[in-house]
Amino acid sequence: MFRLVSLNLNGIRSAATKGLLPWAESIGADCMGVQEVKAQAADIAGRFERVHDMHGHFHFAEKKGYSGVGVYSRKTPSDVVVGFGSPEFDAEGRYVELRFDTPQRKLSIISCYFPSGSSGEERQLAKFRFLALMTPYLQQLKAEREFILVGDVNIAHKEIDLKNWRSNQKNSGFLPEERAWMTHTLDELGLVDVFRTLNPKPEQYTWWSNRGQAWAKNVGWRLDYHLATPALAAKALREHIYLEQRFSDHAPLIIDYDFTI
């Protein structure tokens, strides 16, 4: 079995003060993709390079206290790819890919943090640029290898994926263009939203605003995903959104797969 976790930390140092490390040691993950590390290499050194028996590989933003992604892995990868070739977005620390290649198989585990457009038009336009670049990148990657991309995609795909969909149709994260990108990625590109293959139920959220008692009232959004190539997605066994503790404004998304790396 392969247990893969995705979690937007909203700051690794902040999450650590809320019990992240003991929890991560307890869950038996083989890999854990994290987003919004909000730290630099010097902040990680001596504190967060390892979580239990998993070693971390990171892509840091140039701007301090901003973005940043990582993948912790029990097994040493055959290669690590930092960034996806976009000067604009690689400067923001949004993509790290661990490759576990053998003569029989090429397999990648990716942690990716998609931009948010909620702060205004400028960042929304940046988000659209990111999506436009990510489409051909993922298409080429899918032609070359099997992969699971985990991360905060900052898009709720369908009405079922957020509580107040009617009032959010003109808001970033649920715009028609963003939802169309996700539909294209699944239907035309051929990737699989693994969580939804296992759990078709409503009110399955991974993010809650800090405003208006959203957490207490479960007024959430499903923004965190496992997007997998079909062969790997078909091996998904069970999913779990971990709600018992809160390490950030996102919840960990855990999926078990019937393969090993």
Positions marked catalytic: 152
Taking each helix axis as running N to C, give the angle between helix 176-187 and helix 121-144, from 0 to 180 degrees, rounded to the nearest 10.
Answer: 0
> For residue 121, with 0-12 CB atoms within 10 Å meaning exposed, 13-18 middle and 19 or more buried, which class applies?
exposed
H helices of the chain, in order, are 12-17, 20-26, 41-44, 87-90, 121-144, 176-187, 194-198, 214-217, 230-233
- The neighbour count for residue 194, using CB atoms within 10 Å, is 24
Give the torsion sign (CA, 209, 210, 211, 213): positive
Q: Retrieve residue 178's tokens.
A: 């963003």
Closest CA to 252 of 13, 17, 19: 19
Q: Which amino acid is at 120?
A: G
Q: Retrieve residue 47's tokens.
A: 């504190």
